[in-house]
Amino acid sequence: MNTSSVNQSKLISPISSSLDLILPQLPNYPFTEVERINGGKNSQVYRLTSHTRAQFALKIYFQHKAEQRNRLKTEFLSLKFLKDQGIKAVPKPYLKNESQGWSLYEYISGEPIRDFQVTSQDITTLVDFLLQLKNLSKHPASHDLNLASEAQLSIQGIIDNIKNRLNKLLEIPKDTIENKLLNQFLQDDLVPFLSELIVWCQPCLKEKLMDFSNEIVLEQRTLSPSDYGFHNALRQDNGELVFLDFEYFGWDDPAKMISDFLLHPARMIDFSLKQQFFSEILAGFSENKTLSTRVKIVYPLFGIKWCLILLNEFIPEQLLRRGFADINPIDKRERQAQQLAKAKQMLTQIKGDYEQFPYYY
């Protein structure tokens, strides 16, 4: 790469060989500034500035042979679908190269939204966006979209998914202090409570004449970003929100979509705002008469799943992903200790909530 085209003072991390390959392929090359910015936990993101001051977001995706989902293709095609249908609150996709693992998107100038900055209007804006996706599920082109990442459309499927995640963690060798503490937490706390939850949910389903094994019908499904919330949003100068990160987008159970927002450990927003979200989203799905009950039943199951997601840092390929994406990596043992503490906190919360769902409608 011609380094004279890059303002070195704007480089947060060294220009990698992959950038040497990618940048000359892009429109508006050469760029006057190439800056590494926060790209979440799965990708590297660079802000590119051309000589005309036009800006773009280059996203380089973590790729591993163990991955079964093409996150690049999912995100690019999902954003194209949304833009084609007139959705404004998402970035525009420009160009992708699946073999090299990158996509070029519209650069969104905005500020991250901290927990204490979330307002009642922000909640309404988020709900409106999710209801736009719900309405797009009726569009003929939506049927070309895949299921969202790890979408499970039956209670049995949710439990099977949890057990698969759990077994991966139980198989980790107990060869470090951290791994021994992980195993102790799983065996002594999480596994017994999961068994308790499985027993608890079945009579709840039976009482409401809901099925344990059958998947919800197409009419009860929705399009969902899957990993969404204010941690994946920016506030623009005009106050409007733009939503990012559609690597896991697709068809899903709206009960999962709702539960994930209420449980997501990346955001600790005020209880009253979560209550507002629950009330407004249920009103938007008013034709789904069983959704409120379904949320109350699956909420603690997804709480268990979030405990296991938090423990991904103990899985070797997940550590590779974090190492690829992190701008400021931290020590593996420190990270694992932090995540184990968060999982314990989440489990304690679910144990306290599951018999008396904390939100009302």
Q: What is the CATH number of the domain that holds 36?
A: 3.30.200.20
Residues 335 and 240 grouped into a single domain: yes
Asked whether the whole model's pTM tops 0.95, one would answer no
- Summarize pLDDT for 29-41 with one digit per residue, the tens: 999 999 999 867 7
> Could you give the CA distance from residue 148 to residue 227 in angstroms, rounded to a whole number?
10
> Could you give the CA distance from residue 160 to residue 89 in angstroms, rounded to a whole number?
35
- Predicted confidence at residue 9, as pLDDT, reads 34
Instruction: Report the pLDDT averaged over residues 161-177.
Output: 96
Better-scored residue on pLDDT, 271 or 322: 271
CB 126 within 8 A of CB 119: no
Residues 148 and 249 grouped into a single domain: yes
In the chain, pLDDT over 70 holds for what percent of residues?
A: 92
Structure tokens at 296: 């109350």
Residues 87 and 164 grouped into a single domain: no
Measured in whole angstroms, the distance separating CA 192 from the mean position of its chain's CA atoms is 27
Better-scored residue on pLDDT, 250 or 320: 250
CA angle 101, 107, 113 (to 5 degrees): 105
Evaluate the omega torsion of the peptide bond into residue 254 and state whether it is cis, within 30 degrees of 0.
Answer: no
Evaluate the omega torsion of the peptide bond into residue 30 and state whether it is cis, within 30 degrees of 0.
Answer: yes
Better-scored residue on pLDDT, 223 or 40: 223
> Could you give the CA distance from residue 233 to residue 269 in angstroms, rounded to a whole number?
14
- Summarize pLDDT for 115-131 with one digit per residue, the tens: 999 999 999 999 999 99
- Predicted confidence at residue 14, as pLDDT, reads 36
Structural domain harbouring 67: 3-107
- Predicted confidence at residue 66, as pLDDT, reads 67
Residues 206 and 326 grouped into a single domain: yes
Task: Please identify, among 62, 79, 107, the residue that sits at the C-terminal boundary of a domain.
Answer: 107
Residues 49 and 65 grouped into a single domain: yes
CB 173 within 8 A of CB 182: no
> 301 in helix, strand or coil?
helix
Looking at the predicted structure, is the pLDDT value of residue 136 above 60? yes
Looking at the predicted structure, is the pLDDT value of residue 246 above 90? yes
Residues 138 and 163 grouped into a single domain: yes
Task: Please identify, among 52, 75, 107, the residue that sits at the C-terminal boundary of a domain.
Answer: 107
